[in-house]
Every structure is written in C-alpha cells, then in structure tokens.
Amino acid sequence: MARVGVFVCHCGTNISATVDVKRVAEVAKSLPGVRFTTDYRYMCSEPGQDLIQKMVKEHNLTRIVVAACSPSLHEKTFRTCTQNAGLNPYFFEMANIREQCSWVHDDREEATLKAIDIVKVATAKVRKNNPLQTTFMPVEKRVLVIGGGISGIQAAIDVAFNGFETVIVEREPSIGGRMAMFDKTFPTLDCAACILPPRW
C-alpha cells in the first residue's frame, strides 16, 4: 500500500495569506494512505527539498504530494527531488493551491476548503500512479499539416524553413481555404489570390 507524504508550501505569503496552510496539512493527515504531512515556507528551496528527501527516508514514504504553485513552474524541481529521494519520479503529484486557489480567492475559509479538496484529489491520484520510465525514441524529421487553409499554408512554410520535410493534406481540390474565395482582403483591399502565394 502507498505511504503518502503531503508537503504544503506557504510560498512566502503568496499562499499562506489566503489559505490556512497549517489546517490543510492537518486535514491531509486523515486522508487514506497519508503517513506524514507538514507545511514549510518555501518547499522549492534547497532546505524544502532536503526536508522532502529526509522525510521520505524517515517515514518510509513511497509517494509524494507537494501542495504549492503551478506545475509549469516547479514540477520538474520536485520530480528530481523525488528521484533523489530514491523514488520513481512519477510517484509525485503537484497540487496547485496558488494559481488555482489562493490567487483567485479573497475569502480565507473558502480558499482553505478548496485547497483541501485540491490536496485530496492529488493524494487520491498519487496513490494510483504507476512507476513510469523515460524512454528516448528517434524522431522522423517529417511533418504532416492537415488543412491547406491560410493557417495550414503558413504552418507548413514555417516548419519547412526549419528543416523538416512537410506534407499538406487538404480535402478540397485546391489550397487556400475560405480566403481563396474572397476577391478583396482588409485593410489593403488586395485580391486574396495575390497575397496567398508564399512570400519568400
């Protein structure tokens, strides 16, 4: 059975000014599979990451949830931290309680309840995660662009200029899409056919 550790970040005051982070950590203790919870001022800092690694060993944790900011900002940081703690990096989930909670709410009680729900979902998910492995595969430098409208034409040109063999597939007998049907285009009133050909 998964042994989950939940780490709730204050993010300075970005989260803790709106969300009662200590209460979130306290409620998380009662969630299925959770064996350890704590809150910390900056989980992404070196001391914060060291805390995660230390608690993994101390409490024999097998899954990690970090309730903090956006995964686009620190997911890689915490996956690496999880791996450094000796766990599969995919035994980690991030609960975004900053952008999706503290930054969009003014009411502390509502924000705290929402943060608790976000942590519940992340905890339920991480318990079901499977150990994944990263694999590298060769990439063929060939691109298929579906649709020969003005956007498809421009996409094909951009990709081709970056060294990829490019194929356009269009269901109509000619490319150009709806723009090819116009006799004039705004604001210059040029004919559509005059500006459709690629500009090199």
Asked if the structure places residue 166 within a domain, the reply is yes
| Of 18-32, 77-91, 163-177, minimum mean pLDDT range | 163-177
**Both 122 and 152 in a single domain?**
no
Could you tell me if 7 and 43 are in contact, meaning their C-beta atoms sit under 8 angstroms apart?
yes
**Both 119 and 151 in a single domain?**
no
**Both 58 and 106 in a single domain?**
yes
**pLDDT for residue 86:** 97
Name beta bridge partners: 198. none
- Taking only the tens place, the pLDDT of each residue in 111-162 is 999 999 999 999 999 999 999 998 999 989 999 999 998 889 989 999 999 9
The count of domains in the chain is 2
Boundaries of domain holding 44: 4-128
Q: Give the domain CATH number at 120.
A: 3.40.50
* 3-class SS string, the chain: CCCEEEEEECCCCCCCCCCCHHHHHHHHCCCCCEEEEEEECCCCCHHHHHHHHHHHHHCCCCEEEEEECCHHHHHHHHHHHHHHCCCCCCCEEEEECCCCCHHHCCCHHHHHHHHHHHHHHHHHHHHHCCCCCCCCCCCCCEEEEECCCHHHHHHHHHHHHCCCEEEEECCCCCCCHHHHHCCCECCCCECHHHHCCCCC
Local confidence band at 197 (pLDDT 50, 70, 90 cut-offs): low
Asked if the structure places residue 136 within a domain, the reply is no
Q: Is the pTM of this model over 0.95?
A: no
**Both 147 and 117 in a single domain?**
no
Asked if the structure places residue 134 within a domain, the reply is no
Asked if the structure places residue 172 within a domain, the reply is yes
| Mean pLDDT calculated for residue range 11-20 | 97
Name beta bridge partners: 6. 37, 65
Verify cis geometry, omega within 30 degrees of 0, for the bond prior to 198.
Answer: no
**Both 85 and 123 in a single domain?**
yes
Asked if the structure places residue 77 within a domain, the reply is yes
**Both 156 and 96 in a single domain?**
no
**Both 124 and 95 in a single domain?**
yes
